[in-house]
Amino acid sequence: MPRYKATIQYDGTQFLGFQVQNEGRTVQEEFEKTLARINSNEHIEIFGAGRTDARVHALGQVVHFDMENSRPVEKLRFALDTQTPDDIRVTSLEEVADDFHSRFNPHIKTYEFRIDIARARSPFKRFYASHYSYPLDISRIERAIKDLEGTHDFTSFCASGTTVVDKVRTIYSADVVHDAANQELIFTFTGNGFLYKMIRIMVGTLLKIGNSRMEVDAIPGLLAKKNRDLAGPTAHPEGLYLKEIIYTEEN
């Protein structure tokens, strides 16, 4: 049975998240509905590389699924792209080895987090960036963010209540760019995996440092103490984008 890997974008505003839940509209549910429609109403389950939360966006989420019959990939991509709702786009599709798994094959993930730093929040960014209107010394953020790079136990930056035991992750790069023309701060994190709400807690902590309510060199101590309560608040979901997933082994 052929296996397909699809790269998709979605505007998370009107989703309760990626994964199917008991109540509410999800990306997985909408995608599976479309797949069934073009598969003689037979249900096909999809597997996503990352489980984005409500209001979180994706520029490059990856999903895989199996279909009974092999189909021309561009025809299948076009059918999925045009028949999924307008807030989901299927940017590419390929046939992959039948042991490929979007979540378990080794990969590198990149997330982006956008902050609207205009004094008054832009009506056009209210669903697409988190708003932060307090004073920020961006040079403090630029210095502190580098302490997140490397292999660390990120317990202090993981929402409590998670069932994950091993909280060691590697961040290959953590950067912040100040887009002065658009009055935005854009954070980018690339790593081998991220814990639940980890990006949002890192961003909330970096903003607290930028606002001088936390020491610029606080991060190594936070990592060492393994206590979520000591880090900053969780930044709002609408600023977060699952940007890109690169699989590091040949299929």
Instruction: List interacting residues with a second copy (CB under 8 A).
Output: 9-11, 57, 81-82, 86-91, 120-124, 126, 128
Closest CB 88 distance from a second copy, rounded Å: 6
Nearer to a second copy, 88 or 223 (CB): 88
Nearer to a second copy, 59 or 138 (CB): 59
Rounded Cα–Cα distance for residues 201 and 159 (Å): 8
Rounded Cα–Cα distance for residues 34 and 27 (Å): 11
Contacts 24+ apart (CB under 8 A), 122-125: 122/183, 125/184
| Burial zone of 103 (CB within 10 Å; 0-12 exposed, 13-18 middle, 19+ buried) | middle
Q: Which residues pair with 235 in a beta bridge?
A: none
Rounded Cα–Cα distance for residues 137 and 168 (Å): 30
Nearer to a second copy, 52 or 105 (CB): 52
Closest CB 169 distance from a second copy, rounded Å: 28
Nearer to a second copy, 123 or 161 (CB): 123
Closest CB 93 distance from a second copy, rounded Å: 12
Closest CB 86 distance from a second copy, rounded Å: 5
Has 53 been annotated as catalytic? yes
Catalytic residue among 53, 81, 87, 153: 53
Rounded Cα–Cα distance for residues 243 and 245 (Å): 7
Task: Look at residue 187 and give its three-state secondary structure.
Answer: strand
Nearer to a second copy, 56 or 88 (CB): 88
Closest CB 248 distance from a second copy, rounded Å: 27
245: amino acid identity, one letter: I
User: Do the Cβ atoms of 210 and 141 come closer than 8 Å?
Assistant: yes
**Mind telling me the catalytic residues?**
53
